[in-house]
A and B are shown apart, each in its own frame.
Chain A
Amino acid sequence: DTTVKQNPRYKLARVGKPVNLICSQTMNHDTMYWYQKKPNQAPKLLLFYYDKILNREADTFEKFQSSRPNNSFCSLYIGSAGLEYSAMYLCASSRESNTGQLYFGEGSKLTVL
């Protein structure tokens, strides 16, 4: 089963409120990623976990938090949502096989009002 599942699929949030997005995979993949996709823009890597080690991209360092309580689950947390956070959030996972092959979930669409 090569499935990555994301919840919720759609999230409506008020400005200033927290948002928590969840991702799970059952492929025992070492690495899990979060990408942000806005209309007419390229998917942008926000952060990734290699095993239990979190790596955050420099320009998103303070905006997003994440946790990985076990190998299968990974969350993306926004402490105080702003309008600019409205986007599709894509979770992906990969094996440590140096293939560059990512398995993506269907995405969580966040709308901040």
Chain B
Amino acid sequence: GDSVTQTEGQVALSEEDFLTIHCNYSASGYPALFWYVQYPGEGPQFLFRASRDKEKGSSRGFEATYDKGTTSFHLRKASVQESDSAVYYCALGDLTGANTGKLTFGHGTILRVHP
């Protein structure tokens, strides 16, 4: 079945550091790829998606580019802030059918940003 692998379980950075969270996927079809963010005490929130090869998704200074060749969708941000501390989930899903909420999530990456 489909799967998503996030390499980092936890990432600790200082403010203004560059962030990369690695996400690789395995899917039989041509899935859409997503990033969700979960702040403490809240549910996960949609960050952005990309639906085709080489498409870049972005929001709030975060970005990721769909790479079908390497089956990756790595999350990057040039300069993190303490307020970015959260859990980040990579996910995939099929947007072509009726069941577009059937997302397969990665385990999540805990980001801690120190002032």
Contact = CB atoms under 8 A, between A and B. Distances in A.
B70 to A, nearest CB: 21
Contacts, number: 64
Contacts of A44: 105
A45 B103 contact: yes
Chain B binding surface, main DSSP class: loop
A45 B102 contact: yes
Nearest to B38: A104
A99 B95 contact: yes
Interface string B35-57: 01000011111100100000000
A25 to B, nearest CB: 12
Contacts of B98: 50, 96
B34 A100 contact: yes
A100 B93 contact: yes
Contacts of B45: 104
Interface of A: 4, 31, 33, 40-45, 48, 50, 55, 90, 92, 94, 96-107
